A and B are shown apart, each in its own frame.
Chain A
């Protein structure tokens, strides 16, 4: 009997989350703007190679066969050119792909590890919990950017290593949040009922508890996408990124290290605005999700 009740409850819960989320998006104008922008960015990222009019490293010459050095935005080059005549518009488009790849992959890795660790710690409690939380504390004591710089320098500069570096230090946040949620969920009567009915620990953790923390996990995932994109851009800006993969941070790194950032505003403005718009669109979508997770935030 209890088993049945709990199953019904679970299904309703998972369904209503999605429902509520869609309803929030329809009602919240900012969330709607976020969805549209996000779809746009994903589209650009997927078709980046065909959308970019030029290669990232192509040099462009004017009619007098001279390099188009540091030209402000024009029709031929909507975001202007760099000091060696490269098309910034194409670089920004190609960078979209890198940003979204790093963001999505790192976020999936981080939330997967963080959720499993959090559920295990919260479900078993006791010694397991204490040990896991000490490990989490250890990772909290490591300053993020300095560590990622060191790691990026230790390993060969590549996109995959940046994903790895970001993931290594970010799962702790998810683990901590999921754990505290699981702590309260595992005290609910239907968990006890499930245990009495003979459900195994694994079944209890992933069939009974997990569905209840899914909204929280999704929300954290959205924040982690942003976090990873910012981290990747920061590392590339500091010059520890992969020199062969065009990215927004790298564009800014070159603008700044060649000493042109102060004058060539178009060179700085375009990639930066791309980061801002992408992250804001994700924040707006996440806000609609946040209201599902925390009903107190709902509009009156």
Chain B
């Protein structure tokens, strides 16, 4: 167990180095001069050169890369061209908002998905199942950002139930963590984006649960439970659903990568001050340090979650040992 985790962590570090290298060179071939944003064009050439050397942009590409890697090892991401503050500080401010939105959406999606998926398998072949499939496929087909726009039209602009953007009402205090996240105002802002995100996330757990349930329902022990005269609902949730849950948990791993993409779009639509929205604005502003740090943090999050899902899989299914995972 320990050896396996260690090996996975080592691979992860290697992957982070590779991803960071890729992103470093990608940003350097980008068209557009980052100095145009940094330095007033009317400035004298001497002052411009001074600015460039301050940010290390006068050095060769290879030297820049070495500095970048050394800094990465020390978790030093430099300072943002745009904000003129350490990148890590900005990410630290944005990350909680992203994680809270993502986890509340996922919890909601898995809860609805698992229950609804089990129910759909149970009602296989009925009209209700067809209706359910159309419903699920609708939200799987609809781009998240569009559902978000429609939700804003309906529930914010139309009915006025929820605020359309941001995560707190303008003017409320925003100093401490509690002031920002632990209050009704924040929750009120959280509801609409997390429901929209959950509708998008829901399809994967739901369809996996449904297929896995169909498989489990044809097993002998389910028939046996029926034969014993156990109430259908009890068979559904006590006997079948428990065993069908496993693939749902593991499917989470592969789905996290795409979930983060959806997250970016949701954050843009709802002006949610998170990491996803930050990477979009950073790229348009050609703010290299901030954009590449956001990217590295997001991919690291994906990798960590993949590892967690794998470990969870092994912990939940006694048939899978760490040895099998290695192979």
What's the Cα separation between A143 and B140 when bound, in Å?
A: 19
* Chain B residues closer than 8 Å to A283, beta-carbon distance: 137, 140-141
Contact B149 A261 (CB under 8 A): yes
CB proximity to B under 8 Å, residues A232-278: 233-234, 237-239, 249, 252, 255-256, 261-263, 265, 268-269, 271-272, 275-276, 278
* Chain A residues closer than 8 Å to B269, beta-carbon distance: 256
What's the Cα separation between A8 and B137 when bound, in Å?
A: 38
Judged by a CB distance under 8 angstroms, whether B303 is at the interface is: yes
* Chain A residues closer than 8 Å to B299, beta-carbon distance: 141-143
Judged by a CB distance under 8 angstroms, whether B30 is at the interface is: yes
Contact B143 A237 (CB under 8 A): yes
Contact B145 A150 (CB under 8 A): no
Contact B261 A146 (CB under 8 A): yes
Contact partner, A230, options B27, B143, B268, B298, Cβ 8 Å: B143
A280-B149 contact in complex given A140-B257, A154-B30, C-beta closer than 8 Å: no
Residue-by-residue, is B154-168 near A (CB-CB < 8 Å gives 1, otherwise 0)? 001100000010000
CB distance from B223 to the nearest CB of A (A): 14
- B294's nearest neighbour on chain A, judged by CB, is A146
Interface of A is mostly: helix
* Chain A residues closer than 8 Å to B124, beta-carbon distance: 299-300
Judged by a CB distance under 8 angstroms, whether B19 is at the interface is: yes
Judged by a CB distance under 8 angstroms, whether A107 is at the interface is: no
Contact B257 A143 (CB under 8 A): yes
Contact A145 B150 (CB under 8 A): no
CB distance from A24 to the nearest CB of B (A): 15
Contact B265 A234 (CB under 8 A): yes
CB distance from B316 to the nearest CB of A (A): 21
CB distance from A75 to the nearest CB of B (A): 23
* Chain A residues closer than 8 Å to B140, beta-carbon distance: 279, 283
Judged by a CB distance under 8 angstroms, whether B120 is at the interface is: no
CB distance from B264 to the nearest CB of A (A): 5
A233-B143 contact in complex given A154-B31, A238-B265, C-beta closer than 8 Å: yes
What's the Cα separation between A255 and B148 when bound, in Å?
A: 13
* Chain B residues closer than 8 Å to A296, beta-carbon distance: 214-215
Total interface residues on B, CB under 8 Å, equals 57
Contact partner, B164, options A143, A154, A262, A272, Cβ 8 Å: A262
Judged by a CB distance under 8 angstroms, whether A151 is at the interface is: yes
Contact partner, B283, options A153, A156, A234, Cβ 8 Å: A153
Contact A276 B257 (CB under 8 A): no
Residue-by-residue, is A130-166 near B (CB-CB < 8 Å gives 1, otherwise 0)? 0000000110111111110111011010000000000
CB distance from A277 to the nearest CB of B (A): 8
Contact B149 A252 (CB under 8 A): yes
Contact A262 B153 (CB under 8 A): yes
* Chain A residues closer than 8 Å to B134, beta-carbon distance: 30, 280
| CB-based closest 10 A-B pairs | A145-B261, A279-B141, A272-B146, A262-B157, A154-B30, A280-B141, A144-B261, A143-B260, A276-B142, A153-B283
* Between-chain CB contacts (< 8 Å), 16 pairs: A140-B257, A143-B298, A143-B299, A144-B258, A144-B261, A146-B295, A154-B31, A233-B143, A234-B145, A234-B265, A249-B143, A252-B146, A268-B146, A276-B146, A280-B138, A283-B140
- With A146-B279, A297-B214 given, name 19 new contacts (CB 8 A): A141-B19, A141-B303, A141-B306, A143-B260, A146-B260, A146-B298, A147-B295, A149-B280, A150-B23, A150-B283, A226-B141, A255-B149, A262-B157, A272-B142, A275-B141, A296-B214, A296-B215, A297-B211, A299-B124
